[in-house]
Amino acid sequence: MSDFFQKVSQQYNQKLAFVMYSKPNSSTSFGLLQEDSNSYFLENYERKGFILNSFTSEKKILFPLDKCLQISTENNFEGIETTSELKETYSEEVKLKFENLVKNAIEEIEVGNYKKIVTSRSETVSIPDFDFIKSFKVLVQLYPTAFKYCAFHPEIGMWMGATPEQLLKVNKNTIQTVALAGTKTKDKIDEDWGEKEVVEQQLVTDFIVESLEPFIAEKSVSEPYTYQAGNLLHIKTDISAQLKNKMQLGEVINILHPTPAVCGFPKEKAKDFILENEGYNREFYAGFLGELNYEAVNQECENSDLFVNLRCMKIENKIANIYVGCGITKDSQPELEFFETVNKSKTIKKVLK
C-alpha cells in the first residue's frame, strides 16, 4: 500500500475526518486529512477547504485547508481488479413503491403545479468484506471522466461516489457550469433522444441561465450534446459566464443548488414535494462537494471546483446505501423510470463486490 493510502487508512482507524478525491481526467488523487477531532461547518463562502453540502443545505461539512494535512498520489493502480457486476435484485414491493411515487409526481405535473420533479430512492447492499481503499481505486479506474471521492467524517459517516455532473467551476471571475439531464444506456447511442428527455434537459438549461442573469456580465451557452458517463448517456449543455462580483459566489451557489437536474422546477415547490413524498432522507445525495477557494494543484489560487453528489453511496454497518433518481415530466412512464434508477445503481455497484 502506498504511503498515501497508509495515511488515509491510519486516519480512518483513528476516526478522524478525511477526504480523498480525483478530479475528471486527472492522473492524481488528492487527500485532506484533518489533524484534530473537531467538527467544522461552513459559515461563509470565503473559507478555504473541501466542502460536503447536503441536499437541503442543513449540513455544510467543511474540511478546512488550515486544519488538514494535504497529500497526493499518482493514479497508478495496476493490479487492482475491477469487479464483476453484482446480480441485479429488487423486490416487486420496491418497484411498486417507486412507480407510485412517480405516478404521484406525474399527476402533480399534469395539473400544472410543476414542470419537473426529480424522484429518487435508496437501495441497500450487504458488504461484509468492504475495503474502502480498494473501492476508491476501482472508482478511479472505471470512471476517469467523473469526479471520484471517498469522504469520512464522524458527523456523517463514510460517503463515496463518482459523479458526472459539475455544479460550478470558478476561475478568477469566470464561472462554468453544466445542464445535465436525460438518461439512456450506451447501447442506444445511435437512437435519437425522445421529446421527454429533450424537454427535461432544456428546463435545466433555462433555469440555470435565467438564475445566473443578475450576477453575470456575459455568457456563453453551448448546443446540447450527448455525453457518456460510465455505461450511461445524458444530454449536456456547457454554460460559462463572467461573474460581476466574486463576493457573490455564495449567492450564485445558493441559487444554483439544488438544480432542476436533482430537484425539479419550480425549485422550492419541487423540493417540498420531495421532502414530503420520498419517504427517506437524501442526506448528502444530490447535495454538492468539492474544492472551495483553493486548488490542490495550486495552493496560491482561490479557484473553486464543485460537483453535484450523484452516483454515490453511504457506508454504514457493513451496508452500502446507494442513492439513485430520475427526472419526471408529464411524458414520463413510471416503469421505465424505475429501470432508469436500476441502470444508475450499477455505476456504484461495480465497486462493491
CATH number, domain with residue 56: 3.60.120.10
Q: What does residue 320 show for φ and ψ, rounded to 5 degrees?
A: -100, 120
Q: What span, in angstroms and rounded, lies between the C-alpha atoms of 201 and 331?
A: 13
Q: Give Cβ neighbours of residue 206 (< 8 Å, ≥ 6 apart).
A: none
One digit per residue, the tens of pLDDT, for the chain of length 353 reads: 589 999 999 999 999 999 999 999 999 999 999 999 999 999 989 999 999 999 999 999 999 999 999 999 999 876 666 655 566 678 899 999 999 999 999 999 999 999 999 999 999 999 999 999 999 999 999 999 999 999 999 999 999 999 989 999 999 889 999 988 888 888 888 899 999 899 889 988 998 999 999 999 889 999 999 999 878 899 999 999 999 988 889 999 999 999 888 999 899 999 999 999 999 999 999 999 999 999 988 766 889 999 999 999 999 999 999 999 999 989 899 999 999 999 899 888 888 86
| Per-residue confidence (pLDDT) for residue 246, from 0 to 100 | 81
Burial class for 55, CB neighbours closer than 10 Å (0-12, 13-18, 19+): buried
Residue 267 lies in a domain: yes
H or E element, residue 320: strand 319-328
Residue 128 lies in a domain: yes
Which residues on adjacent β-strands are paired with residue 139?
A: none
Q: What span, in angstroms and rounded, lies between the C-alpha atoms of 116 and 181?
A: 11
| Per-residue confidence (pLDDT) for residue 298, from 0 to 100 | 75
H or E element, residue 219: strand 216-221
Which range of residues forms the domain containing residue 327?
A: 3-75+93-349
The DSSP code sequence of 223-285 is PPEEEEETTEEEEEEEEEEEES-GGGHHHHHHHHSSPTTTSEESHHHHHHHHHHHS-S--TTT
Instruction: Note if the bond before 224 is cis, omega within 30 degrees.
Output: no
Domain total in the chain: 1
| Per-residue confidence (pLDDT) for residue 76, from 0 to 100 | 87
Residue 85 lies in a domain: no
| Per-residue confidence (pLDDT) for residue 88, from 0 to 100 | 67
| Per-residue confidence (pLDDT) for residue 187, from 0 to 100 | 87
Q: What span, in angstroms and rounded, lies between the C-alpha atoms of 8 and 14?
A: 10
Residue 88 lies in a domain: no
Residue 59 lies in a domain: yes
- Do β-strands 304-308 and 147-153 pair in parallel, antiparallel, or remain unpaired? unpaired
Residue 84 lies in a domain: no
Residue 86 lies in a domain: no
Task: Compute the half-sphere exposure of residue 318: CA atoms within 13 Å on the CB side of its CA.
Answer: 4
Please give the grid coordinates belonging to residue 340: 432508469
Q: What is the pTM of this model?
A: 0.92
Residue 320 lies in a domain: yes
